[in-house]
Chain A
């Protein structure tokens, strides 16, 4: 499709986008071939990114999958920036380009309105931020007193910890001063209407000379701030990786909602475009390819799409609050617009994944038994809630263990003491071992991690290049 044809279609799509009340950022499309697409995938779609071998690795993997025809390339890739930047594959069929543009507008609207994205990094500055980071890291690499290997070591370690951070963007991160205030407030005895009669409650002043004051899950930030050994360029690299991961968290947190939302809208828009019969046929085929359920897995496009439709339909049944009967003002439509602003995957599923959907999709809970994976619960009357609960714990950042710094001076020896919040999921030990070794490199002192293994509280230490486990009694 030539650019002018694309522009014509885009005009029609954008009209519909506006008439439905979607509120996206300005949109930009870049036409690329499949090599460039693989390249953009390796660098998470960013036009500029700092050099690191892991991007080369993901390029090789995508390329290999593409060459062997294992994984098809996505038709499109879209990144959360303002203006919103999307890549269209040159070789897509006409219908695919139309479908993709409509889909991209769905994502774009989600980026522009969902609270996780809005409370993250300002989308205007994203590309500049990545470019700036790339320049800084290149500068360190070219600095003869630092060089590639030293930079790589720090980036490797930082990547290992980049997802260890607070998970909910709705919770404000407090400065140490605010934290102090909060602790003092908490220590105040509760107001008591009978205080004249009751004995005076004992006020215990909270321990305020401890670091951190309360468990801190932001490991990179913590280390950059308190590590006694890191140089300023090393701290700078940690903050670069930390900032970039801050940018990516909303996408991890809203995968199901976001893909469902984009699919919901491409479906609506394409049905309203009055496509030719040929295009309509191809649309149905492609739409079903993208949204088909995958037995043995879970297709986020499908799950999201089903839930969004379900919310709208159920809400429709409620009596309209005022007599405007247009589709845009229907209670169902209003509801989904509201939900796309206020929720993330875990809350979305908790609020809107009903028993009926779970049963319709035949979701089940599975577990490792010996060497096999076995279904433990299906969505019957007694167990559907277990299935739902398991799903919610595993979506978004739920798949990342929560690990916080408890004490930066454990045993008065500057040992970094971490605690894994055990929720019946154990850590993978070989991964924990290497990650601890990265942590130890950054901290420059001993690091211990408290976790639970086989039901027993256990300390993990990285000593003499191996992992040592020690039961806590």
Chain B
């Protein structure tokens, strides 16, 4: 009675049984990264970094939790013959509580750290976001996605698109056909000195079409307060906000135009470089920037042709006398824009002794106006999401809660 031996089955006949579970695991990793984006963003300084910068992302939710004993559990291990009480067998690694190849019986540490590049991270962040309420407008169309797509095969093509496998196959077909026509064995055509070279007709090329998805034309107007009251922290928060917004637009839409406006007591249109890096000072007339925005819109982006999105970041410390005017202009902006978002930058501790535009803007009743408050780095991501969330219902819920939130917090 011997044992039964089952021979090894060839690779082609086998199925890759864990493929489904691996895919699901990777999906969970992605989900978990997305869930932690706010934390990741607040830990990493992302502005101005190389797109290929690698970020280490600790993943928490992929652990499989059970009831286990803690670290202070004693264990037993084997020594090399001369162990003495008091010997240190494992040096603790400060700052890394999980660092432990625990001798003996503690369950293996389950922490996974994943490396992703900044680009991938941004990709993940914006997967489910879109410019809200984008409407089809006349004339110029914006290409939102442009990609090359394989579609069938052709006998002509460029070298790079040569399909070697199909080419080789068609040569073999021709070889068989020729040998049949000549009434000889196909092997006799290829053995020895005789070659059966490739012919021009054997060549097969991938055919590629350009896949374009058209969106309506859109412009984004970024307005930032660069007055003296915007201290380093505030400026950093505002810039981070716009940086994210800018990345989002660049990733999702090929041809969205972006206008940068910087303002203190007066506003001017600036380029990307100046917007993100230039330092200014002075007082604050918010209305000036809105006027400038309206002026730009009237001159170049007529609302009947363009989807317009305006975002304004400020610390809300406006000259009191300007408030009424700012309110009127904001109202006007709402008329022409698909969405007008106002983000008030109030780092913790500054809310009590400076003015807030949120109280003023409370009077705007337009549905396409949204205000959020940004107190710390962690708020950036939820804030931006609230502006951009695709699902209108969710957006409403988030938007209003963000709004209420701001009002609560703005009260001294």
Interfacial residues, chain A to chain B (CB-CB below 8 A): 3, 6-7, 10-11, 14, 26-33, 36, 39, 42-43, 51-57, 59-60, 83, 90, 101, 148, 152, 156, 159-161, 163-164, 293-299, 361-368, 370-378, 387, 390-391, 394-395, 398-401, 403, 420, 425-429, 431-432, 434-435, 438
**Residue ID in chain B nearest A362 by CB atoms:** B79
Chain A residues with CB below 8 A from B24, complex form = 51-53, 56, 148, 152
Q: Is the beta-carbon distance between A56 and B23 smaller than 8 angstroms?
A: yes
Chain A residues with CB below 8 A from B232, complex form = none
Partner of B2, one of A14, A32, A367: A14
Chain B residues with CB below 8 A from A387, complex form = 76
Q: Is the beta-carbon distance between A56 and B70 smaller than 8 angstroms?
A: no
**Residue ID in chain B nearest A84 by CB atoms:** B3
What's the least CB distance linking A103 to chain B, in Å? Answer: 13
Chain A residues with CB below 8 A from B69, complex form = 399, 401, 425-428
With A26-B3, A373-B88, A391-B76 known as contacts, the answer to whether A55 contacts B21 (CB < 8 A) is yes
With A56-B21, A161-B66, A428-B71 known as contacts, the answer to whether A7 contacts B2 (CB < 8 A) is yes
Greatest chain A CB density within 10 A among B20, B25, B77, B103 is at: B77
Given A365-B76, A368-B71: 15 more A-B contacts, CB < 8 Å = A14-B1, A14-B3, A28-B3, A53-B25, A59-B21, A160-B64, A160-B66, A296-B90, A363-B79, A366-B75, A367-B72, A372-B90, A373-B88, A390-B76, A427-B68
With A30-B6, A42-B18, A53-B21 known as contacts, the answer to whether A375 contacts B76 (CB < 8 A) is no
B67 at interface (Cβ–Cβ under 8 A)?
Answer: yes
Chain A residues with CB below 8 A from B76, complex form = 298, 363-366, 387, 390-391, 394
Interface size class on chain B is 35 or more
Query: What 0/1 readout, one digit per residue, does chain B (3-27) give for beta carbons within 8 Å of chain A?
Result: 1111110010010011011111111
Interfacial residues, chain B to chain A (CB-CB below 8 A): 1-8, 11, 14, 17-18, 20-28, 62-94, 100, 102-107
Q: Is the beta-carbon distance between B104 and A297 smaller than 8 angstroms?
A: yes
Q: Is the beta-carbon distance between B23 and A366 smaller than 8 angstroms?
A: no
Q: Is the beta-carbon distance between B18 and A3 smaller than 8 angstroms?
A: no
Q: Is the beta-carbon distance between B87 and A374 smaller than 8 angstroms?
A: yes
Consensus secondary structure, chain A interface: mixed
Q: Is the beta-carbon distance between A365 and B74 smaller than 8 angstroms?
A: yes
Partner of B22, one of A26, A59, A83: A59
Partner of A374, one of B89, B100, B104: B89
What's the least CB distance linking B342 to chain A, in Å? Answer: 31
Q: Is the beta-carbon distance between B80 and A394 smaller than 8 angstroms?
A: no
Q: Is the beta-carbon distance between A298 and B5 smaller than 8 angstroms?
A: no
What are 6 sample pairs from A and B whose C-beta atoms fall under 8 A apart? A26-B3, A56-B25, A366-B74, A374-B87, A375-B85, A378-B85
What's the least CB distance linking A135 to chain B, in Å? Answer: 15
Q: How far is the CA of A438 from the CA of B69 in the complex (A)?
A: 18
**Residue ID in chain B nearest A360 by CB atoms:** B81
Q: Is the beta-carbon distance between B77 and A297 smaller than 8 angstroms?
A: yes
Greatest chain A CB density within 10 A among B70, B74, B83 is at: B74
Chain B residues with CB below 8 A from A435, complex form = 65-67
Q: Is the beta-carbon distance between B78 and A362 smaller than 8 angstroms?
A: yes
Q: Is the beta-carbon distance between A375 and B65 smaller than 8 angstroms?
A: no
Chain B residues with CB below 8 A from A56, complex form = 18, 20-26
